[in-house]
């Protein structure tokens, strides 16, 4: 049984060390022969670095290294080319000055290795001279491989000025490629985002973006057919432990946890890092998710909580993927690019492609809900989990009064500086809690009478919920506050009834609860509930 290459991104080490390798060399062959400049966006830890390293090894020219793989028996000639590879995740970027200095150091390492001495002032000039010198030395086109090109920008999005300054440094550095066409054989650039593509790669108009191309949709990740074919022995070994619970077999359980990623709305791939982690740790877990969630992403969602509650109905276009403004990032777009959402369906209307988005699998959905809840409330996970248990029991008993008490406790613990005076803020926290409990809660549900804030359907119960927020002055007298509560609750209940939000559930045989929640402030929460009798 072959070893599991968890954390290994070196192609040669994998194929010579007896590790599992999913053959992606046909994709590499097609890329090498189709064009000369490529850009690929994929989430972190999804195999971009290994694919880039595979391309690099192909251009080193050692054909025997690829024996048994698709490209070995192809007509590819394995000519050796000079290679310049940059992993931008290893480049210091705390300031633009540090970024520039780090790029200079990296380029000087390449120059020393090749026996060159340059006296350049900027990284752009040194990059240009290095490409030209390598071309002349080997009389072959240079291969330029840039991994995580946007890392110096993404790392600094909490400080837009620093992010923009880093972007300007990278613009000068990457801009060199525009004039180097006669000296280059292949340029391949990977990253997470595309929102900086227009400004960073200004002028590089021959850069072929293969991110959403159906032909390359499975270029990274583990395809469904490969699960049994490549990992069959590992699955059979773990299946004897009999600790999977949701499905009848371990194969389907694995797919539910880690499958679901798609870039064309048709084929799906499994997250390779999560899959390998599962086999190594011999248990299900949120492996990919816990390796890091960008704080700037949480900040974006806090600014627009509706993005979170509407995650399963978001859509994007390819035009949106080319957005360039760092201070106007679309949260939905970033959720897709960073791997928290994936393509559920591709729809073409009048020649324009629309991509419907959804969460890919258990791992992402459950872990993301927990992260949202802890980020929005700044409660410890132990407090959140205790709240989950109590709310679960209350919902099963039809006791929304107990739910109200728990939510008051949650909101009371939120620091005042974190409080957001928006209805969607409270809605998001409620939505996150119920999702974490495993309930199928639908947010912003369209019915004939309008949009329902939330519906929650259990085996024998249905909750139709309306959220209402009214700004309340801190010094308001108790009597006035109570009247305001009564007014807001009545408004919510009337909206449910007059718009017929409950009608689709009548005659279902389930008990239907109509619930209005009124929020007047951080921990000012009241609830009114009625039971609908058929």
325-369 pLDDT, tens digit per residue, is: 677 777 888 889 989 999 999 988 877 888 999 889 989 887 787
Q: DSSP class of residue 192?
A: S
Confidence at 490, pLDDT banded by 50, 70, 90: very high
pLDDT above 90 covers a percentage of the chain that reads 48
What is the C-alpha separation between 178 and 144, in angstroms, rounded? 12
Judge whether 220 and 275 are in contact, CB under 8 Å: no
Q: Which residues pair with 471 in a beta bridge?
A: none
What is the C-alpha separation between 107 and 90, in angstroms, rounded? 13
Taking the whole predicted model, whether its pTM rises above 0.75 is answered as yes
What is the C-alpha separation between 84 and 143, in angstroms, rounded? 6
- C-alpha pair distances (Å), 159 with each of 162, 309, 341, 378: 6, 27, 25, 22
What is the C-alpha separation between 203 and 179, in angstroms, rounded? 10
What is the C-alpha separation between 138 and 116, in angstroms, rounded? 13
Structure-token match 């940059």, residue found: 86
Better pLDDT: 227 or 507: 227
Say which range, 72-76, 214-218, 335-339, has the weakest mean pLDDT. Answer: 335-339
Better pLDDT: 246 or 196: 246
What is the C-alpha separation between 266 and 256, in angstroms, rounded? 17
What is the C-alpha separation between 401 and 488, in angstroms, rounded? 17
Residue 385 has pLDDT above 90, yes or no: no
Residue 244 has pLDDT above 70, yes or no: no
DSSP per residue, 119-150: --SSHHHHHHHHHHHHHHHHTSPEEEEEESTT
> What residues contact residue 73 under an 8 Å CB cut-off, 6+ apart?
none
The pLDDT value given to residue 445: 46
The pLDDT value given to residue 107: 97
In 3D space, the residue among 190, 125, 196 whose CA is nearest the CA of residue 167 turns out to be: 196
Confidence at 381, pLDDT banded by 50, 70, 90: low
The pLDDT value given to residue 414: 62
The pLDDT value given to residue 439: 62
Better pLDDT: 316 or 38: 38
Residue 419 has pLDDT above 50, yes or no: no
The pLDDT value given to residue 24: 98
Distance of CA 288 to the CA centre of its chain: 10
Q: Which residues pair with 55 in a beta bridge?
A: none
Judge whether 46 and 339 are in contact, CB under 8 Å: yes
Judge whether 383 and 420 are in contact, CB under 8 Å: no
The pLDDT value given to residue 463: 86
List the structure tokens of 484: 């305001």
Confidence at 226, pLDDT banded by 50, 70, 90: very high
List the structure tokens of 141: 């086109």
List the structure tokens of 109: 């390492």
The pLDDT value given to residue 378: 67
Confidence at 398, pLDDT banded by 50, 70, 90: confident
In 3D space, the residue among 502, 513, 488 whose CA is nearest the CA of residue 445 turns out to be: 502
- Taking only the tens place, the pLDDT of each residue in 110-139 is 999 999 999 999 999 999 999 999 999 999
In 3D space, the residue among 206, 102, 89 whose CA is nearest the CA of residue 150 turns out to be: 89
Better pLDDT: 19 or 295: 19
Domains annotated for the chain, with CATH where assigned, are 11-216 (3.40.50), 222-360 (no CATH), 378-532 (no CATH)
In 3D space, the residue among 247, 256, 220, 253 whose CA is nearest the CA of residue 235 turns out to be: 253
Q: How many CB atoms lie within 10 A of CB 417?
A: 6
In 3D space, the residue among 284, 289, 216 whose CA is nearest the CA of residue 255 turns out to be: 284
What is the C-alpha separation between 336 and 297, in angstroms, rounded? 11
Confidence at 448, pLDDT banded by 50, 70, 90: very low
Return the ∠ at Cα 465 (arms to 464 and 468), rounded to 5°: 155
What is the C-alpha separation between 140 and 81, in angstroms, rounded? 6
The pLDDT value given to residue 239: 83
> Are β-strands 208-209 and 37-41 bridged in parallel, bridged antiparallel, or unpaired?
parallel
> What residues contact residue 518 under an 8 Å CB cut-off, 6+ apart?
468, 469, 470, 485, 488, 489, 492, 525, 526, 527, 528
Judge whether 335 and 257 are in contact, CB under 8 Å: no
The pLDDT value given to residue 449: 44
Better pLDDT: 69 or 305: 69
């Amino acid at each position: 049984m072959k070893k599991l290459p968890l954390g290994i991104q070196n192609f040669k080490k994998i194929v010579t060390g007896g590790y599992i390798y999913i053959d992606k060399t046909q994709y590499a062959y097609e890329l090498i022969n189709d064009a000369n400049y490529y850009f690929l966006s994929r989430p972190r830890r999804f195999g971009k670095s290994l694919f880039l390293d595979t391309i690099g090894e192909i251009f080193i020219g050692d054909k025997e290294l690829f024996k048994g793989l698709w490209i070995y028996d192809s007509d590819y000639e394995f000519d050796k080319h000079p290679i310049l590879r940059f992993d931008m995740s290893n480049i210091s970027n705390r300031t633009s000055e540090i970024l520039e200095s780090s790029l200079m150091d990296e380029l000087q390492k390449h120059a020393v290795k090749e026996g060159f001495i340059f006296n350049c002032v900027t990284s752009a000039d040194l990059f240009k001279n290095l490409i030209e010198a390598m071309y002349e030395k080997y009389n072959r086109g240079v291969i330029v491989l840039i991994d995580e090109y946007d890392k110096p920008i993404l790392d600094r999005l909490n400080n837009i000025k620093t992010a923009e300054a880093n972007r300007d440094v990278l613009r000068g550095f990457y801009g060199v490629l525009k004039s180097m066409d006669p000296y280059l054989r292949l340029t391949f650039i990977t990253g997470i985002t595309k929102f900086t593509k227009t400004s960073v790669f200004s002028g590089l108009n021959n850069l072929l973006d293969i991110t959403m191309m159906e032909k390359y949709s499975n270029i990274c990740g583990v395809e469904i057919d490969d699960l049994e074919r490549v990992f069959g022995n590992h699955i059979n070994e773990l299946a004897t432990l009999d600790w999977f619970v949701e499905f009848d077999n371990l194969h389907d359980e694995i797919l539910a946890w880690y499958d679901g990623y798609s870039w064309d709305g048709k084929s799906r791939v499994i997250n390779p890092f999560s899959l390998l982690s599962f086999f190594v740790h011999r248990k299900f877990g949120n492996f990919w998710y816990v390796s890091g969630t960008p704080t700037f992403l949480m900040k974006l969602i806090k600014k627009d909580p509706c993005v979170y509650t509407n995650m399963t109905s978001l859509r994007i276009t390819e035009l949106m993927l080319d957005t360039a403004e760092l201070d106007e990032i679309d949260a939905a777009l970033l959720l897709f690019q960073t791997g928290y959402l994936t393509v559920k369906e591709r729809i073409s209307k009048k020649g324009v492609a629309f991509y419907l988005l959804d969460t890919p699998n258990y791992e992402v959905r459950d872990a993301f809900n927990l992260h949202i809840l802890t980020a929005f409330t700044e409660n410890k996970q132990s407090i959140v989990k205790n709240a989950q248990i109590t709310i679960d029991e209350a919902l099963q008993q039809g006791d929304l009064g107990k739910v109200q008490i728990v939510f008051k406790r949650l909101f009371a613990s939120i620091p005042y500086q974190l409080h957001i005076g928006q209805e969607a803020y409270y809605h998001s926290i409620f939505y996150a809690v119920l999702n974490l409990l495993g309930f199928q809660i639908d947010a912003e549900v369209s019915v004939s009478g309008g949009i329902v804030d939330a519906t929650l359907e259990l085996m024998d119960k249905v909750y139709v919920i309306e959220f209402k927020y009214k700004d309340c002055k801190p010094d308001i007298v108790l009597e006035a506050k109570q009247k305001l509560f009564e007014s807001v609750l009545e408004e919510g209940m009337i909206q449910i009834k007059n718009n017929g939000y409950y009608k689709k559930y009548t005659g279902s045989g389930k008990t239907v609860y109509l619930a209005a929640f009124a929020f007047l402030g951080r921990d000012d929460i009241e609830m009114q509930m009625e039971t609908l009798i058929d």
